[in-house]
Every structure is written in C-alpha cells, then in structure tokens.
Structure 1
Amino acid sequence: MTKKIQARAWWVLSPLALALTVAGCGGGGGGGQNNDAALIAAIVAANAANEAAAAAEAAKGCLIGDSGSPVVVGSGNPGDPAAPEPASGYVLGHKLVYAKNYMVVANHPLATRAGCDVLKAGGSAVDAAVAVQAVLGLVEPQSSGLGGGAFMLHYDAKTKKVQAYDGREMAPAAATENYLRYIDDVSDKTTPKPSPLRASGRSIGTPGAVRMLDIAYKDHGKLPWKDLFSYGITLASDGFSIGGRMAAAISTSEANLKRDAEAAAYFFNADGTPKALGTKLKNPAYAQTLTTLATQGANAFYTGPIAQAIVDKIAVTAAVDGSAITPGKTTMADMANYVAKRRDPVCGTYRDYYVCSMSPPSSGGIAVVQALGILETFNMGLYKPTAIDIEGGKPRVMGVHLVSEAERLAYADRDKYVADTDFIPLPGGSPDTMLNKPYLQQRASLISLSKSMGTATAGDLGSVPLGIDKTEEHGTTHFTVVDKQGNVVTMTTTVESTLGSFHMTQGFMLNNQLTDFSADPNDTKDPSIKVANRVAPGKRPRSTMAPTLVFKKNGDGSMGEFVMGTGSPGGGTIIQYVVKTVVGALDWGLDAQQATSLVDFGATNSPSTNVGGEHPAIDTSNSGNNDPLIAGLRALGHTVSFGPQSSGISTIIRTTVGGKPVLTGGADPRREGIVLGDTFTP
C-alpha cells in the first residue's frame, strides 16, 4: 500500500524546558531514582501538552505526502505511517520526497520523526542521529540498539571535511584467538554453548554505539544532550505498536529469546505466546536507561549500574531452562576502557564525483570504492534500466553483469586483505594500494563482456594473511540526515544478527558482533597461516557496513559540493546495495527514490549472482526462466539467486528545482521507513 501522509514536529522546546524545570531536572549530572522518575513524567507530560498544537505546527515542517490533512507520525490516526503493517517484502508506490532545508530518512517512521523533530528545532545532523538511534533501539530491537555498534560518516558543510566515526564493538581484554572456538584453550577444547554460538556470552562485544554518538556530539552537537532522548523516553513509557518486522523476529526467535528471563518477559505474553503485530508494547526499563543517559551522559553507560548490568548479563552461565550458556569474559574494565575512534574515511574519485565511505575495521568502504573504480573503466551509461518508473525500472543484463563482476573482484581483495587496521595493516599501509587507478584498471581488465568469472582471485598485493569471514548480518539498520546548515550524517548501526545474542538487559538487546570474527584463527588451507580477522584482545571484528557520501569533483580532483548520502543494512550484501544505489543515481540518472527502490543485485566472490526476486520487475515463475534478466545472466555463466533481498537503503540526494538547491529523499520499500523534512511539492 502506498503511504501518503503529512506529519508534523511534536517537540516544542520551551514547554519541554519548562516541564523539566518544574520537575527539578533541568540540569545535567546525577539525580537518582526519584529525579529520573520525575524526568520521565515531565517529558511525557510535556509531550502530551505539545500534541495539542499538532495541527498548527504541521504546516511548518516535517511533512511528507502531497494531499490530505496533516497527520502526526505515531498518533494512530488514519494515514499514520507508523501504524503497524505486516512485513510485505516490497511496498509499491514510494514517491520521491522533496525538502527545502533539512531531511531525515530512517527505516522506521517513529525514528524518522524523532530525527526530524530535532532538525526542525534547529538541531544538527548529529543531534538528530542521537535521537534517531535512541528510538531505533526501542522500535527496531531486531536491528540495532544501545547494546550494539555503529559506523558514521559526517560531513561538515562549513569546513568541507568528512570525518569517519568508529563505534564498532571490541573483544574483551581476556579474549584469546580461540575465544569463539573453545570454552577454554587448555582445559576444555569444546565449542562454546549453546549452538548457535551467537546465543552464548562469547558472542557479545563491548558495545560502541553510545560512545561513538558521544564523541560525534562533542564535535558537532548543537542542542542540549539531555533533550535528544525525549521522544525515545516518551515512546518507551507510553508504548508503541509492534510492527511487522519486529513481530516476525520475535516469532522466529522464540526458543532463543525464552532462554533469557528479561527477553521472555518483554517479548512474550503471560501464556507464552509471542507478542504479535499491533500489540502496544511499553518498555519502562528502556525509558529508565535513556533517562540515565540523558541526565548523566554517555559515561553512565560505560561505568556504574548500567555497565555492571551488561557485564553481569554477559557472564550468565545458565538459561531459564537450566541449560548451559558459556559466559563471556567482559569486565567493568572492558566497559570503562572502550574507545570510539575518529578515523579518516576511505575516499576515491568516480567519473565526475568524489566518493567517501567507511574505513576499516569495516571492509565495506574499501569494497564500494574499489568496485566503483573498476566500473569506471566501462561506460555504464549505456546500460541504464529499461521501462524506468518510480520503482526504478528493469535492470539490463550487461549492467548487472558488469557490476557483479566488479564486486567479485572487490570482495576477493576484501576477503584477503581487510581487517581491523589497528592490528592488521592494509597492503602498503594505506587504502591507496587497493584503490589507486592503475591497480583498479588492471583489475577491470579481468572482466569479460561475454562470460562471468565465477570466482575471482585476489590481487597480488604482498604477503598478507587471509581474513575470510562470510558471517551474514541481519540485525542492522541505516539512516541518513541533512540539517539546515547542510551538514550530513550517514550512519549504519547494528546488533549483528536479528535480535543480537538474545541476551537482554535494562530494556535493550546485547549484540552478537564477535561472531564477525573468524572463529578458527588458522587458515583452513594452510594452518600455519593466521587469518587476519581472528580474535584478539581489544580487537574489532571486520564489518561490511558502508555508510557513503558522494560529492561533486572539482577540476583539480578535490572534493566539491555534497551530492548524495546513502547506505544500507544487509550483512555481506551491504556492498552490493550501496554500489547499486550509487550507480543507479550517478550513471543511470535515477532519483533518490528510484535508485533506492531499484532491483537489488550484485555478487560476493562466488559464482552466485543476486537478483532481488521480491521486486515487481522480476518474474520468478518457472525458476526464473521467464525473466529476461535472469535468463540473460545465466547465458553469461552466472548462477542466479533470486531470493528476496532485505536491504534498508536510506538515500538523500541534493539537486535543484527551479534553479534552487533542494533535498530529495528515498526510503527503501523493503522496510518500514519514511522520509521527513521541511517538505514541499514542486
């Protein structure tokens, strides 16, 4: 069903500030349980008062849609995009959204609203990111949360600088290279329990998202930190309706969730049945956690009661049913010593553009820039989709072939050479060895126009140990934000698998991110070689997340004006989703929504090529033989997988309308997200 709504910003700062003052909670620092309870009550009361002004405020910003009366996102009124609906696979009819000055695209309507409210109130893109993440951890616990990690790219419109922020989880100081392989390196060389490994305490890394947002806020925050959690606290206290993706995650994870007492009490009814689509769910524990963060700052997450509760949950040795759980070895020192890092982004040129993405420990950025650099050899404009409509049209065989072959080459290098560069350096000590033009042209020469290479061989860049890990991430989400000053955030955030490790504490799920390490520290073909992505104390597991920014390229090759921000969840397929979207926009002239909606396609380094069968342009009948794209790829030697893809692409593109710069946004029709901003109809 096409979603046509108009929404307004709920948050009016002055009544909220007044309520906080009355509650005695206007300042930072501690306050204890009584003050926290008063703060929650004050925020809820202020929100209720502000809702009365909804209609008047609606016309001033945070609008989407082109007709009808203003509708408050999350109000439950007719036309509310936050009304729960079953997970559909693909929702037809998403339209391009225009905004004059600010915009946010996230994978859940309530999170999008949280970010837009902050932008409307004059907040920065980073302010909005804090608010969006606070809500996502509540309404999308299957995808991200305070107990997980994140990567962010930030563009400062004043200084013209792109900064990467690394909030990836870390292995504890007591971890050994066999941490995921053996219960004990000496006395018990059996696999940690239970199976799957992700359900054990060994899978849980020290969470990094909160600290990463903290350092980004200190660099670029504008509004008071304490005010950025208001909507999340209100939703957790008043309740929200369970959406289709969350309901499905609860149902399919029932056995594992019921091993944890807190998760079982939260996600299941008294009779043991899973809480279903549309159920109103309150999370007072999460409201309390957000209140503590709001009043005491990010340090409260890494020291004190919150940190102790995380450490205690990781150390649990038995499930509710008495079965064994191998505990993790995370300590309070690990929590206190967690460091989020400012890193240089991975950047390169692509035709008339300058592309920046995430640096290691994510491999996603290098692979995206590599794949684009390889594709630069080919005239991709010749292969734009046919029958282009609002869903993006029908990809051509040669366009999909070339993108997939370039990705095979990029994945081959990624698998071999990329890990946490604090432990394993890149070939040559910098990304340039993998991204320079002569090397990428040499890689492009390996692509045949008449036959798929199947499996690519990594380039010869020196003696670097293999680091192959093909773990799939499903507990991930992405959002993109542009504020009134033109600053941009593109951020991918994750708990790794759906609902993370199934360990719950204080209203949020803990990640299973350490399973992104290679459990076996030795190369399977040559045990004398250590893999690059093995576990080590304080090390960060490799990721594929690739938040990406695109800029105009100046005549001297330097970075010019902002053009595009995008990214996606999807585990190992994130690289494919991002490359597809960037090529769709830059080479094929698709707008932000068309490029986002376009058929998901691409390949890892294997003979199998993905073509998203959930898309209406793909005919999966008769084993795909009736579809000319699938048949054409098979004729080139591709083994085509046309299973449904689960991207969550969030794209903003800066363009012009009537000679004036405007923002355009697209939300992925495969998820529940929307676009909000000071929108208008051109």
Structure 2
Amino acid sequence: MRPLLLAPLRLATLLAATSLCLLACTSPPPQPEGASGWVHKPGWATHTYAVAAANPLATQAGQQMLQKGGSAVDAAIAVQMVLALVEPQSSGLGGGAFLLHFDGHRTQAFDGRESAPSGATPGLFLGPNGKPMAFNDAVVGGRSVGVPGTLRMLALAHRQHGRLPWSALFEPAIRLATMGFAISPRMATLLADEPALKADPVAAAYFFNPHGQPWPAGHVLRNPELAAVLTDIAQRGPDALMTGAVARSITSAVQHHSSNPGTLSEHDLATYSAVVREPLCFDYHAPIEQRDYRLCGMPPPSSGAIAIGQILGLLNHTPAATLPLQSGLPSGDWLHFYTEASRLAFADRAQFVADPDFVQPPAGDWNSLLDPNYLAERAGRIDNSPAAKAMPFAPAGQPGGLSVGYAPMPDQVEHGTSHISVVDAYGNALAMTTTIEGGWGAHLMVNRGQGLVGGFLLNNELTDFSFQPFDASGKPIANRVEPGKRPRSSMSPTLVFDKATGQLLASTGSPGGAFIIHFTAKTLVGMLNWGLNAQQAINLPNFGTLGGPLMLEDSRFAPATVLALQARGHTVVQAPLPSGLQAIERTETGYFGGADPRREGVVLGD
C-alpha cells in the first residue's frame, strides 16, 4: 500500500452525472440507513496507536482508553458503549457484533452474533396465508428480536485481551449519558424520517419533544436510564443485562408488544454464550502492485469473508485484475467484471452459507468456496472478451464436485451496523462490526420503569434469516429460522497481513447490510491493488449488486460509464449508498487512518 498517491477526489467533477437517473428504470432496493450528506475527511496520521469509529465522541472514548495504557479491546468496548448512546440507530446493548482480533501472534474471531430464541420456529415470518410477511411488518415489534450478544462477546474478549479494569471502560459513556450530548446532524436526519419510533412509548418520550417532533441537531439529549444500566454493567458485568431486572424488561417489551409479539425469554438471555471461532483467511495476489497478502475475516455465520475472497479471487481471472483507475474512478470495463464476479459469489452465498452449528460446509470445509481450482472453474463462466455481455444467469457452484440438499435463499433486505478499527501500542489490532440490524432495530426501547427517561434499543436481527424456510418443492433453505441458530450476516471485519512476513498491514470494515461486502471489497482493492491510501480508497464511489441490478452511488459516475455497462446487458440503478467505512493502515512512520465522508466518523491516535 502506497500512501497519498492520488490527489483527493474533486466532487465537483463527479456531480456532472445528474442525468444518470434517466438511464435506469428499476427502483433501487431500500438502503440500511438513510444518507446524511458528504463531509470531506483528510485522513489522519498517527504514531503508535489509532482508533477509528463512526462518531467523534465514540472515537474520543477509545482514544482515552489507549492514552491510559489500554488495549485495542479496551478501546473498542469504550467506543461501543458511547455508540450505543450517540448512534443508537445502528448498534448498542440490544444487538450483536463480530470482532476479529490479532495479538501479534494469532488471529481470533469472536462471535457475538444474536441467536434465535428457543421458541422460534421456521415459519416465524410466514403470514396466515403461508406467504412471507412484508419486511416492514416483520421488523417492528418483538417478533424480530434475537438474543443480543454484543456484551457477552466483549466481556469474553476483555478477559483474554483487556488491560484496563472492566469498570473503567464504561466511564465515558456513563458521563455522556448523564451530562448529555448534542444530537449529531446524522442522527437528527435519520430521526426526522423515522415515524415508527413514535409508536413505542419509551422511544417516543426520549427521541421526540412533547409535541411529537423529533429533537433537532444540537439538542442536548440525556439518557439517565442508560447511564444507570451501564453503571450496573460496569460493576457486575454482562449478567446485569442478561439477567435480573433488565432481562425482565427486555422480555416484557418483546413478549407484550401490542401488535407483533415475540418469544424471547429470560432463559434465552441467561444462557447465551459468545463463541471464539477460527478466522477465515485467504491469500490475495495484487496484480498491479505485485504483492501477496493474507486477508482474514469472520467465518460463518458471516458470509462476508467468503464473498469478498471469492470476488477478489474471481477478478484475478479476468482483465479487471490489471485495469487501473480511470481519472480516479473504476472504469466501466472494471465494473462489468466486478459485477459478474459478485453475482457468482452471491449465488454461492445464497446457496451455502448459514450458522455452522446447524449447517455443514460444502465439501466439509468453508475454504472449499475459496479453493483456487474452484474459483478458476467458476471464473470460466465470465466472458472475458472485449465485447463481453453480462451472464444471463449466475448459478451457485459445486465446490468439491458435490451438490447439497439446500435450496437457495431468495433475495431479501438486509440492514444496519457500525464499524470500529483499532490498533494499540502493544501490537494488538482489531476490526469489529456491530449492529442492531435495521436503522433503529425493532423500534423497541427497553426501560426498567424506574422513572428515568431513555434506555436502549433492541435488534431486529431475526429478519436476517430467510423468511421462506423451504422452497416450492419442500427443500430446506440453509439460513432458515431454527431455535438457537444465528442468522447469516454480511458483516465483514477484515485484517490484512503481508503474506511473506505475517506483519499486520491494515484493519477495515463497514456497515451497510449486504452491501458491506461491496464496500469492504472496494476499499481492499483500492488499497491493495490500486495503491491508494486508506482515506482515498474509502472515498472511491460505492457500487455493487446483490444478484439483481448493478447499483452505482448517486452522482459519482459519468453517464458514459452507465451507458457502457448497459450496453453489456447490465441493469444500472443510481442511488445513495451510504457506507460507513473505517480503515487503519500501517505506514513507515506509524499508522494512517481513514473514515467515511458519508458519515460522521473520525480517526484519533497519538
């Protein structure tokens, strides 16, 4: 990775593509969270440590822990607790997370993904007519709430890698919740477009004024209820959330929802366990930079590392491998091959990937989906000729030459999340993606009923399962709902290593539902193959497909690029694609971090 090779993108030249909407006739799929503008970020150089998070107050909390001699895990816990307060629409105590950790010698994958309650059934999201529910009908209320796993996962990581006392990590969030914080422009923008929150009395009393209007940007918001809960967790650990009064409040909110109750029980909360898994790692050769890397991500139930590994591997079998940026942007030819590779990767994702405690990997090993011979065979479906057209259909493959007994999962909306990257002064690094799934989760706010305003939101993570448990012939879908099962995720926290030396080179990841895969892959290609620094790679326009139309970030590509893609047979749709990327890379003098200009994050260090 070569820092600062290209001049910053000039947005004025990109805004000339205002006619793109006239070139597409397909409506864009709903995005995980609304867009809230673009704020230029310079990138930040640091010396011995760095923390990148989605809100400046959260980043500051992580920096404080590192200044006190804390570890990367200590910093991430402090960041997460503040995010629960200042970015409640994306993550918090009521959600789940994946944390990829490197201690200088080994990489671990901490799985704090939510799980289905013991009372969940495969038909959880089927209506009385036996058809899948409308997504919005399924989300709001208790039906969609999974057992939250973030706190138990963080406690497990802290026991292994923490350096500061557990209680100290909660001090910044408790102070902000008590004294108040100014609502950020992004939170205000999303709150103004969120009518469903008003239906929950606890959320309505907290997020809206007495006249039912959302609090504006700059309003000082206090959350004494969350401060009290965090104070108890700081003293007693995760049991303060997963048992006792808070657990009873969680289950009451879920089970007694007026129109869409769920089955989450106190037993489900008390018995949840975080899991340490082996990371899913793969080699990547960057043809332009001529360097070999080792990339590590989360294994299933995340689909992120597998899909990214497949996309990168497939691209190296196409002319895209050596195509440079054109005027600082991916070319139409490069986007064509990327789209074809993505369609093949997402077909495998829909066919195979689910909770490994419930579903066997194809050919007995998830790495079979990344086997070089398998990827070479899959790449044969991509037409590499100059006049290549889009594939009419992208089927799933047969890794190991074996067919499986699962039906592919139908396309379905995915949402949510926030991302944290940290490197500390001791040689530890992490990438953590954290979520309550959709913006504002299940639109349920938990309050213990002791007269304090506020609380925390619950996830709607169960909607990441397939609403349809079986296909028309009765064949089961791997990612169907089952009691205790963790829904498939797209979260893609990623650590990058030099293959020859094993030295850590970068940490990155993003929110964005299923588009997390594309946002992260774009950043990796930008840094590793196009020689961009972390900020420049993040700034690149977003793009991707979930198997249907090719989505391009609004006003970032020239009309000629869209016409060239359409000539190849792609349906192109322009839409806001508000990623929330964070990335930290190693440099000759320390570290350089980037934060997404589409959101409010910053990078801080020494």
TM-score surpassing 0.5? yes
5+ unaligned residues in a row in structure 1: which ranges?
Answer: 1-85, 319-324, 388-392, 620-626
Distance 2:217 2:35 in 1: 10
SS at 1:101 equivalent: coil
In the alignment, what sits opposite 2:117?
172
Aligned to 2:262: 328
Task: Select which of 478, 487, 510 maps to 1:541.
Answer: 487
Q: CA deviation at 1:179?
A: 2.0
Match runs of 1:530-679 below 5 Å: 530-554=476-500, 560-606=502-548, 608-615=549-556, 618-619=557-558, 627-657=559-589, 662-678=590-606
SS of residue matched to 2:47: strand
The answer to whether structure 1 residue 445 and structure 2 residue 389 are counterparts is no
Q: Deviation string for 1:402-446 (max 9, x for gaps)?
A: 222211111110011101111011102211211111001111222
Q: Residue 542 of structure 1 aligns to which amino acid in structure 2?
A: R
Q: Please state whether the residue corresponding to 2:164 is helix, strand or coil.
A: coil
Secondary structure at the counterpart of residue 93 of structure 2: coil
2:68 to 111, 121, 129: 121
User: How much does 1:190 deviate?
Assistant: 9.3
Supply the distance in 1 between the matched residues of 2:99 and 2:134 (Cα, whole angstroms).
33
The equivalent residue for 2:9 is: none
Identify the match of residue 398 of structure 2 among 442, 455, 460: 460
Q: In the alignment, is residue 424 of structure 1 matched against residue 359 of structure 2?
A: yes
Q: Which amino acid aligns with 2:273?
A: V
Q: Distance in 1 between matches of 2:337 and 2:512?
A: 21
Contact 2:315 2:321 in 1 (8 A): no
Tell me the distance in 2 between the aligned counterparts of 1:383 and 1:418: 31
Q: For 1:304, which of 222, 244, 248 is the aligned residue? A: 244
C-alpha distance in 1, partners of 2:133/2:522?
38
Paired residue for 1:31?
A: none
Q: Does structure 2 conserve the Cα–Cα contact (< 8 Å) formed by 1:174 and 1:330?
A: yes
Whether 1:144 aligns to 2:68 is no
CA contact (8 A) 2:132 2:467 kept: no
Structure 1 residue 381: Cα displacement: 5.7
Q: 1:369 offset after TM fit, Å?
A: 1.1
Matched residue, 2:44? 97
Q: Distance in 2 between matches of 1:370 and 1:191?
A: 30
Aligned-pair CA distance for 1:161: 0.8
Partners of 2:227 and 2:118 lie apart in 1 by: 31
Cα 1:587/1:373, change in 2 over 3 Å = same
Where in structure 2 are the equivalents of 1:75-474 lying within 5 Å?
Answer: 88-92=36-40, 94-157=41-104, 160-182=105-127, 196-254=137-195, 256-318=196-258, 325-351=259-285, 352-378=292-318, 380=320, 382-387=322-327, 393-449=328-384, 450-461=388-399, 462-474=403-415
Q: Quote the Cα distance in structure 1 between the aligned partners of 2:299 and 2:381.
A: 26
Deviation at 1:378, TM superposition (A): 3.9
Deviations 1:220-254 (A, max 9, x none): 11100000011101111111111122112222222
Shift of 1:467: 4.3
SS at match of 1:610: strand
TM-superposed deviation, 1:88: 4.1
SS in 2 for 1:231: helix
Secondary structure at 1:105 match in 2? strand
1:614 deviation in Å?
A: 4.9
Aligned Cα root-mean-square deviation (Å): 1.9
Structure 2 counterpart of 1:270, one-letter code: P
Residues 416 and 464 in structure 1, CA contact (< 8 A), matched pair in contact too: no
Asked if 2 retains the 8 angstrom alpha-carbon contact of 1:469 and 1:533, the reply is no
2:509, 2:581 within 8 Å by CA — same for their partners in 1? yes
Of 521, 530, 546, 2:469 maps to: 521
Q: CA deviation at 1:368?
A: 0.9
Structure 1 SS opposite 2:199: coil
Give the secondary structure class of the aligned counterpart of 1:631.
helix
Q: Note the C-alpha offset of 1:178.
A: 1.2
Find the aligned partners of 2:516 and 2:62 in 1 and give their Cα distance: 23
> Secondary structure in 1 aligned to 2:64?
helix
Check whether the contact 1:192–1:200 (CA below 8 A) recurs between aligned residues.
Answer: no
SS in 2 for 1:511: coil
SS in 2 for 1:475: coil
User: What's 1:11 paired with?
Assistant: none
Query: 1:176 & 1:354 partners in 2: Cα distance?
Result: 40
1:601 and 1:182, CA in 2 relative to 1: closer, same or farther beyond 3 A? closer
Aligned with 1:135: secondary structure?
A: helix
Structure 2 unaligned runs (5+)?
A: 1-33, 286-291, 448-454
| Residues 297-306 or 568-577, more deviating | 297-306
Kindly indicate whether the alpha-carbon contact (under 8 Å) linking 1:380 and 1:587 is maintained by their aligned counterparts in 2. Answer: no
- Give the aligned residue type for 1:591: N
The AA in structure 1 aligned to 2:361 is L
Paired residue secondary structure (1:480): strand
TM-score, normalised relative to structure 1: 0.79
Give the distance between the partners of 2:339 and 2:86, measured in 1 at CA: 34
**Contact 1:89-1:614 within 8 A present in 2 as well:** no
User: Structure 1, residues 317-367: CA drift from partner, whole Å, max 9, x if none?
Assistant: 32xxxxxx2321111110011011101111110010001111111111111
> Contact conserved, 1:108 with 1:136, CA < 8 A, in 2?
yes
Shift of 1:131: 0.4
How far has the Cα of 1:529 moved from its partner? 0.6
User: Quick one: distance in 1 between partners of 2:151 and 2:279?
Assistant: 20
Match of 1:486 among 427, 447, 458: 427
Percent identity of equivalent pairs: 46
2:405 counterpart SS class:
coil
Q: Provide closer, same or farther for how the CA distance between residues 381 and 630 of structure 1 changes in structure 2, counting only shifts above 3 A.
A: same
- Distance in 1, matches of 2:354 and 2:565, equals 32
Maintained 8 Å contact 2:506/2:585? yes
TM-score (norm 2): 0.88
Whole-angstrom CA distance in 2 between matches of 1:193 and 1:395: 36
The answer as to whether partners of 2:35 and 2:578 remain within 8 angstroms in 1 is no
Pair 1:645–1:511, CA change in 2 (3 A): same
Q: Deviations over 1:166-225 (max 9, x none)?
A: 111111111111122258xxxx97988995211121100010111111111111111000
- The corresponding residue for 2:20 is none
- Rg bigger for which structure? 1
Does structure 2 conserve the Cα–Cα contact (< 8 Å) formed by 1:112 and 1:132? yes
Number of residues of Structure 1 aligned to a counterpart in Structure 2: 554
Which of the residues 444, 456, 472 maps onto 1:508? 456
